[in-house]
Amino acid sequence: MGELFTGGASSVVLRRRRDGSPAVLKLTPDRTLSASRVEMPRVFAPSGRVPAVLAADVQVGALVSTEAVPGIEAEDLPQESLTERRAELLTALHAVAALAVESLGPV
């Protein structure tokens, strides 16, 4: 069993390192939440800004993803750098979201 992450409000999250790479196992009884936790990272995966989904079973409420390893805390960055990083993140996510919507075709 992996190390338990604390503070989750809707799931249990365990750190798991089977092959040496950082990964987490998220377990939730809420199937709707489970489905969104699988779908959203897959939609935004091309941005390179979200954890990758490695395995999932929505019916069971289980998701294994790469671990998001914290970097520099936002409060420790100069305001100019923080603004630039936020802009880069939003630009990357919006670009992927636009492509995902376009790929759905006419509504």
| Domain CATH number, residue 17 | 3.30.200.20
Please give the model's pTM, rounded to 2 decimal places: 0.62
Residues 26-52: pLDDT tens digits? 888 888 888 888 888 888 888 888 888
pLDDT digit string, tens, across residues 90-105: 888 878 766 665 554 5
- Residue 99's domain comprises 3-103
pLDDT of residue 12: 67
pLDDT tens digits, one per residue of 43-84: 888 888 888 898 899 988 888 888 877 666 777 778 777 888
Q: What tokens does 9 get?
A: 């409000």
Domain count for the chain: 1
Among residues 30, 82, 77, the alpha carbon closest in space to that of 58 is found at: 30
